[in-house]
Chain A
């Protein structure tokens, strides 16, 4: 099990630099400028909610995200009313948790994904969600560099979205089931009538394809 989180002996997403690769990527991905601005605007709105309890900013966030969160709810098999409720509950959590958002660690959409993911666990599974925390006890053990690496994920969203479109259908199906339908690897295997190993390798292949498709400049 010591090869965990490694595919073919290579890290999944070997991004290296955080801030300094942004400029280069902007040059490489000129067409993504729109998405970049979009993320900046969404981050501004979340911060306006966090700092000023800005209801206008919240309404803008609601108009952008709630219909996507509803789609997320529908994809996992909820009826329209329940999906609507999930979106509303998630948006209420956005209002309450806005102060925990850090744009240097995650894109606005990724942060919203973690909110709706947790809300789904609350609402449908009625389970607690143990959250990763950072603290002295944990850090004592770790003699590795602190995870400033997370910085780079703040920027990865556009690239990921771009390369998602190039994945083969069967990999997308497995990834979508994993994210939208609240299915673990083993349940997906049962449903698709595939061996667990096949599901694992499709997810690994899907993630590996994403990694390969990332521009060299990020390495």
Chain B
């Protein structure tokens, strides 16, 4: 049962198509795991369709239909579809769909086969390539029993749990749960499950660390 969902604003902006890619990735991945949020997105899309119908049509240029008809048989630039990428590389199904295109060459075998980069003894990271600047999107793997240094956020931080879980003062987060923190939060998540906690973490500004442990992790967190 998923207990923590993205706020309505994020679902709305995702459906309207105005979220930057990294935040859209977090929302899409959550929605892939959450029928309730898929439904809210469908609601906003239906509203978008209804608004489209209310627009006064504007005449197209005289040659536009012929121009498009002439292009119908053009070969499409081969899109790297999720299913194609998956079939080609055997990407295992443990990854929710929206994440697969970012990890195209991963072999099957579970989370251990991902090309993690060790940051500290208890933290590994896998940075995801994004088409926009100013954000950082990563998979993070925290060892059982570990804590993230106390920190506040200059911008926003979105965390989607993919495996394992953590707790902080706002509750318990398990697979599918979505956490959304901003500068008003000072928090200290603890991985209180027996397995590592794997999350998709999106930051829209560097973290400001407030704890003693901060210096240790700072170089990695500020690498935007």
Contacts and interface: CB of A to CB of B under 8 A. Distances in A.
Nearest to A6: B8
A143 B57 contact: no
B47 interface: yes
A110 B49 contact: yes
- The contact size tier of chain B is 35 or more
A69 B18 CA distance: 17
A40 interface: no
B93 A141 contact: no
Contacts of A110: 45-46, 48-50
Interface string B11-33: 11100111111001101110111
Given A72-B55, A144-B1, A157-B49, A118 B17 contact: yes
Contact of A109 (B4, B40, B49, B178): B49
Contact of B60 (A13, A66, A111, A139): A66
A138 B96 contact: yes
Contacts, number: 255
B34 to A, nearest CB: 6
Q: Chain A's interface: helix, strand, loop or mixed, by majority?
A: helix
Contacts of A121: 17
A13 B41 CA distance: 11
Query: In this complex, which of B21, B34, B60 has the most chain A Cβ atoms within 10 angstroms of its Cβ?
Result: B60
Contacts of A128: 21, 101, 131
A68 B55 contact: yes
A121 B23 CA distance: 14
Query: In this complex, which of B47, B64, B65 has the most chain A Cβ atoms within 10 angstroms of its Cβ?
Result: B47
Contacts of B65: 59, 62-63, 66
A176 B46 contact: no
A149 B39 CA distance: 7
B88 interface: no
Given A92-B71, A147-B39, A2 B171 contact: yes
